[in-house]
Structure 1
Amino acid sequence: MKRIAAGITLLLLAIVGIGVTYVVQRSSAPYIAAEQRVIDSRKLLDMLATDTYDNQPLEQPLTLSDIALSHSTLVGGYRATRAGQPVAVLLRSQTQGYAGPIELLIAIDANGKLLGVKTLKQTETPALGGHIADWPNSWLAAFSGKSNTEPTDNGWALKKDQGQFDQIAGATITSRAAINAIHDALRYFDEHRAALLGVGP
């Protein structure tokens, strides 16, 4: 009889324990999810100074049209605002590198100047084109401040192609792909400025 009572007691304790665990997990899940979203957001938005925007850009993706560009394809876009005014647009761009697709996040300010570029995905050769994934990335940082027209179209190329930019050492194809995708994104911004910023034409 004592064994049965002890067994029932253990069973009840197990049920209570499972129930408490379930309730705790359910009640903390939204908080954990919110914290994870903040972490993910900062990882994607670390090209933007935190005091330059006050919305949650990733929670309000833009609807993009004409996404097939000359050398790349846009796979997403976001608008950063402060006090309701647009301060930057972030475009996710996919282009073909040496070993496979490269996905870049390209941040452009409201005036069409490049704020920064970050590699989100790539399968380039380690120690060569794979350096495009380094963060921070001194090679990608060299594009900051550039725009669709600064330099001119001819300048948006590698120096070995009579352009203005150095290449990642030993990674000509990767470098060309990134330069072309960045220029594509800046050109797209200029052509769709009003829609991207959410302002009148």
Structure 2
Amino acid sequence: MNRATSVGILVLLSGLGIGATYFVQHASEPRISAQQRLIDSRNLLDLLPLGSYDNQPLEQPLALKNIPLPNSTLLGGYLATQAGQSRAVLLRSQSLGYEGSIELLIAIGANGKLLGVKTLKQSETPALGGKIADWPNAWLQVFTGKSRTEPGDMGWALKKDQGQFDQIAGATITSRAVISAVHDALRYFDEHPQQLIGSEVHE
């Protein structure tokens, strides 16, 4: 076997190997994407009560992107529906904590009441502000059932600031950031119901 033949076979085998790798990767992409969507879905949708929606909220993103609010930024959101009726929105919110940005997922029912809050990303001090990443989270659950008007604007603050909420022990700045972001999201929802759920807010 001469050198030219050997090189030709090598090139052919390399091409076949690259082709096979590309084919396997390309064929696997839909399955990998589906698995990632399932993981994202479980991570994002566990704030919504079971049986409260029948659509795929992650496939119904809201027309929100980097909307600046007084104390936070709305990064995006999703709509949950049942039988074609809006049931809840999931808002991704970002605020500034003690160590850096905190990203929250805030679920609000069509009646304007908070369904839950979950931390998606944070870099706060472990065992202090970092506790907001725990799930389930007893401190974050305190906000469930609240609305923009319950408590009133003055109540959306720490008790040390004449508000209604306790803080995470040793994490005043983190606690303030979360409370302000949740209040911002509820206020935005209350002021933009048509944009978010397609109707006015009703108790």
> Which segments of structure 1 move beyond 3 Å, counting only runs of 4 or more?
8-25
SS of 1:167's partner is coil
Aligned match of 2:5:
none
Q: 1:182, CA displacement in angstroms?
A: 0.4
SS of 2:116's partner is strand
Cα distance in 2 between the residues matched to 1:12 and 1:68: 56
Are residues 181 and 28 of structure 1, via their aligned partners in 2, closer, same or farther at CA, if it must alter by over 3 Å?
Answer: same
1:183 partner amino acid: H
Are residues 15 and 55 of structure 1, via their aligned partners in 2, closer, same or farther at CA, if it must alter by over 3 Å?
Answer: same
1:172 partner amino acid: T
2:29 partner amino acid: A
Aligned match of 1:99:
99
Q: 1:40, CA displacement in angstroms?
A: 1.2
Cα distance in 2 between the residues matched to 1:66 and 1:75: 5
Matches within 5 A, 1:1-201: 22-64=22-64, 67-199=67-199
Aligned match of 1:5:
none
Q: 1:51, CA displacement in angstroms?
A: 2.2
Q: Report the aligned-residue RMSD.
A: 2.6
- Where in structure 2 are there 5+ consecutive unaligned residues? 2-7
With structure 2 as the length reference, what TM-score do the two structures score?
Answer: 0.86
- Where in structure 1 are there 5+ consecutive unaligned residues? 2-7
On the 8 A contact 2:65/2:74 being kept in 1, the answer is no
Number of residues paired by the alignment?
A: 201
With structure 1 as the length reference, what TM-score do the two structures score?
Answer: 0.87
SS of 1:77's partner is strand
Are residues 126 and 95 of structure 1, via their aligned partners in 2, closer, same or farther at CA, if it must alter by over 3 Å?
Answer: same
Cα distance in 2 between the residues matched to 1:121 and 1:133: 8
Q: 1:200, CA displacement in angstroms?
A: 7.0
SS of 1:52's partner is coil
Q: 1:49, CA displacement in angstroms?
A: 2.8
Q: Percent identity?
A: 71
CA deviation profile, 1:111-162 (whole Å, cap 9, x unmatched): 0000000111111111111111111111001100000001111111111112
Cα distance in 2 between the residues matched to 1:65 and 1:19: 39
